[in-house]
Amino acid sequence: MRRHFGDPDEIPVKPFERGLFLRLMGYVKPFRKSLFIAGVFMLVSSLTDLAGPLVLRYAIDSYIIPRNILGLWQIIFVYCLILVINWVSTYYNTYLATLTGQKAMFALRQKLFEHLQVLSFRFFDRRKAGKIMSRFTNDISALNQFLTSGILDVVSDLIVLCGTILLMLSMNWKLALVTFTTLPFVALTAAGMRSKVQAAYRDTRNTIADVNSSLQENISGVRVVQAFSREKVNMAGFEQINRRNFQANVKAATLLALFMPMVDILSVLGSILVIWYGARLVVAHQITVGILAAFLGYVTRFYSPVRDLSQVWGSLQAAMAASERVFEILDTPPEILESLDAVELTEVRGEVEFREVTFSYDGESPVLDRVSLHARPGEKIALVGPTGAGKTSIINLLARFYDADAGSITLDGTEISRLSFKSLRAAVGVVLQDTFIFAGTVRENIVFGCPAAGVEAVERVARLTGAHEFISRLPKGYETQVMERGVKLSAGQRQLLACARALLADPRILILDEATSSVDVSSEQAVQRALEVLMEGRTCFTVAHRLSTVRNADRILVIAEGKIVEEGPHRELMARKELYFRLYLNQLKELD
Ligand code: M5T
Ligand code: MG
């Protein structure tokens, strides 16, 4: 099995990489037609751009110097025409390029989301939600910037650059060569600054990812923060993270601000060279005044592509780093895979067997050590044990949120890893400690697992679990909107909803991770009743905290340090007076 356990956000510095680039281009490929049309407009726009100084040359040499004012009007008309063509083609070029880039980004974001949904728990264990979100926002926007303007700009800059060089050479090669002497300086400055600017930009992206993740954490944890008056400490922590981002941005901006005028200064030097040497050529009658003017026009056009190209290089670097992060997610294979010859279970009896199951989250320290257990169909099994013993881990494996490292887990005699996802999910239902309520209506939250369920079915399970009562008191009943994470519902109400949700799904095997003390006594009784209805006739694994659940269980498994240390019904275990006995007495003491 291939697993990575390193820090997933540590991405090595990587300059331009052909494979990465080609792969990125793969996302643009479906839009090559509109990209081609954009390219044609760009070509027209670049060529009309190049025509400017040439027109100026003819205006001076053929009309202004011979004092032909009438002809001058004609050339002004031609020039205006060229300008109009330039505007129109620039408009379509920009519009189509942007559209294409946005379409490619849309597809990529969609794909990223799709993949994120199937990734395994282990992937999310090692990552902060904020960092993942930053891949969707910052990294995708870096890619967008590059795809939208980057690619076409490179081509257009190259055309303008080559065109300018050729036109200059054709007009007067000596003057052209003199002008070109500044080129190595521009190239050197660009190369010298490039790596620094890149590093600075990478810093800005890393630090904004930190800002996002800290923000995300503080928003989801705001209740805990306020309950423990951690506001000041958190503020200081956030200030540090925020400041790092601020400093990274300032540094990047400073470098860029240094770099831009350097090229401008070189371009002014270029113009001075042209005037100095060109004027001598004019005096020596080797070139006309028009040519000198055209040269001056081209000198400025000559440096801006160089400067832009080095900028594009920066955005290419950003895109490389961003695509690497995005592809890293896309390339993470889901660890939990559906078997190729997946078995469909038609009639589930609900028999579960663990044989010598060993498991660890990090690949090093085992959390479960050769656990073996057998549950008959319909048996109620309670898992108890000290905190951190491995109870949740056992049910995580049974639900196949993780795969065991060794040993086998079977359902009705079939390895759960060979079951189709559909069969497994239909057979095994999970009611978690902290019920997640999604933004949407109450009804939507109940039908979560089986969207096809009708109104009557929803109401039936709600009545059975006792949730109907509070739901019908809500302003819009089943159509009431509940907020993310169920802020408006009480803990007990959330659990009733979770029970109704599970009852509707009707799994043969039920996994319950009981909440310790989140509800008061009266709703405790309501939840207890709902659970009894839900557990009826199913094989149940309950991570038990309620004494009643433990006492009513057919069998209790006592887990300690990743092993089953005691096993049997309540009376038997009490009689042994070992770990279970002590745990039970402790629990009773707490209730007093
Ligand atoms: C058993 C570790 C945990 C503990 C051991 C869920 C989870 C657990 N662990 C991880 O490293 N990553 C995880 O995602 O595994 O933990 P558990 O199975 O959650 O214990 P429990 O359910 O018996 O404890 P509790 O407190 O819920 O009663 O060492 O660090
Ligand atoms: Mg637990």
pLDDT of residue 371: 93
Say yes or no: CB of residue 121 within 6 Å of ligand 1: no
Give me the helix-helix angle, 289-331 and 69-118, nearest 10°. 10
Decide if 430 is inside a domain.
yes
The letter for the amino acid at 494 is: R
Decide if 359 is inside a domain.
yes
Say yes or no: CB of residue 371 within 6 Å of ligand 1: no
Ligand 1 atom at minimum distance from 396 CA: 6
pLDDT of residue 515: 62
By alpha-carbon position, which residue is closest to atom 30 of ligand 1?
A: 388
**Domain edge (last residue) among 330, 363, 380:** 330
Say yes or no: CB of residue 388 within 6 Å of ligand 1: yes
Identify whether the C-beta of residue 509 lies closer than 8 Å to the C-beta of residue 416: no
Query: What CATH code is carried by the domain that includes residue 500?
Result: 3.40.50.300
Decide if 362 is inside a domain.
yes
323 and 356 share one domain: no
Say yes or no: CB of residue 461 within 6 Å of ligand 1: no
Cα of 515 from ligand 1 centre, angstroms = 15
Cα of 210 from ligand 2 centre, angstroms = 29
Q: How many domains does the structure of the chain reveal?
A: 2
Structure tokens at 166: 């050729």
Decide if 8 is inside a domain.
no
C-alpha to C-alpha distance for 177 and 168, rounded to whole angstroms: 9
Which ligand places an atom closest to the C-alpha of 366?
1
Query: What CATH code is carried by the domain that includes residue 232?
Result: 1.20.1560.10
pLDDT of residue 102: 86
Cα of 392 from ligand 2 centre, angstroms = 4
Which ligand places an atom closest to the C-alpha of 367?
1
Identify whether the C-beta of residue 49 lies closer than 8 Å to the C-beta of residue 308: no
pLDDT of residue 289: 92
297 and 370 share one domain: no
Cα of 542 from ligand 1 centre, angstroms = 15
pLDDT of residue 512: 87
476 and 421 share one domain: yes
C-alpha to C-alpha distance for 116 and 331, rounded to whole angstroms: 11
Q: Which domain holds residue 560?
A: 352-591
Strands 380-384 and 539-543: parallel
- The helix (run of H) or strand (run of E) holding residue 590 is helix 579-591
Strands 352-359 and 380-384: unpaired
Note every long-range contact of 331-335, with CB atoms under 8 Å and residues 24 or more positions apart, other chains counting. 332/115, 332/119, 332/123, 333/2, 334/118, 334/119, 334/120, 334/123, 335/1, 335/3, 335/120, 335/122, 335/123, 335/402, 335/403
438 and 476 share one domain: yes
Decide if 80 is inside a domain.
yes
Structure tokens at 227: 């309950």
pLDDT of residue 12: 41
C-alpha to C-alpha distance for 471 and 463, rounded to whole angstroms: 10
Say yes or no: CB of residue 361 within 6 Å of ligand 1: yes
C-alpha to C-alpha distance for 312 and 309, rounded to whole angstroms: 5
By alpha-carbon position, which residue is closest to atom 4 of ligand 1?
A: 388
> What is the distance between the terminal CA atoms of the chain, rounded to a whole angstrom?
50
260 and 143 share one domain: yes
Of 371, 393, 549, 586, the residue with max ligand 1 atoms within 8 A of its CB, to mutate for a pocket test, comes to 393
Residue by residue, pLDDT tens for the chain (592 residues) are 333 333 444 444 457 778 888 888 888 888 888 888 988 999 999 999 899 899 999 999 999 888 888 888 999 999 999 999 999 999 999 898 888 888 888 888 999 999 998 888 888 888 878 778 878 887 888 888 787 767 777 888 888 889 999 999 999 999 999 988 888 887 777 777 777 877 787 788 788 888 888 888 888 888 888 888 888 888 898 999 999 999 999 998 898 888 777 777 878 888 999 999 999 999 999 999 999 999 998 988 877 787 777 667 667 777 888 888 889 889 988 888 888 888 888 888 989 999 999 999 988 889 999 999 999 999 999 999 888 899 989 999 999 999 999 999 999 999 999 999 888 988 998 887 677 777 788 888 888 877 788 888 888 888 888 888 888 888 888 888 886 544 577 878 888 888 888 888 889 999 988 765 555 666 777 888 888 888 888 999 988 877 777 888 899 999 999 999 999 998 888 888 888 888 888 877 765 5
- Radius of gyration, CA atoms only, the chain: 35
pLDDT of residue 275: 93
161 and 261 share one domain: yes
Decide if 260 is inside a domain.
yes
Cα of 396 from ligand 2 centre, angstroms = 10
361 and 456 share one domain: yes
Decide if 12 is inside a domain.
no
267 and 364 share one domain: no
224 and 284 share one domain: yes
Structure tokens at 61: 């040499």
C-alpha to C-alpha distance for 273 and 293, rounded to whole angstroms: 13
160 and 240 share one domain: yes
259 and 309 share one domain: yes
465 and 518 share one domain: yes
**Domain edge (last residue) among 330, 364, 379:** 330
Write the CA distances from 68 to 9, 60, 77, 151, 290, integer angstroms: 69, 10, 15, 44, 15
Say yes or no: CB of residue 346 within 6 Å of ligand 1: no
Give the Cα-Cα-Cα angle 553, 559, 560 (nearest 5 degrees).
Answer: 155
Contacts of residue 442, Cβ cutoff 8 Å, sequence gap at least 6: 471, 474, 477, 478, 479, 480, 482, 497
pLDDT of residue 387: 86
- Nearest CA to 421 among 539, 339, 505? 339
Decide if 453 is inside a domain.
yes
Other C-beta atoms lying within 10 Å of the C-beta of residue 590: 9
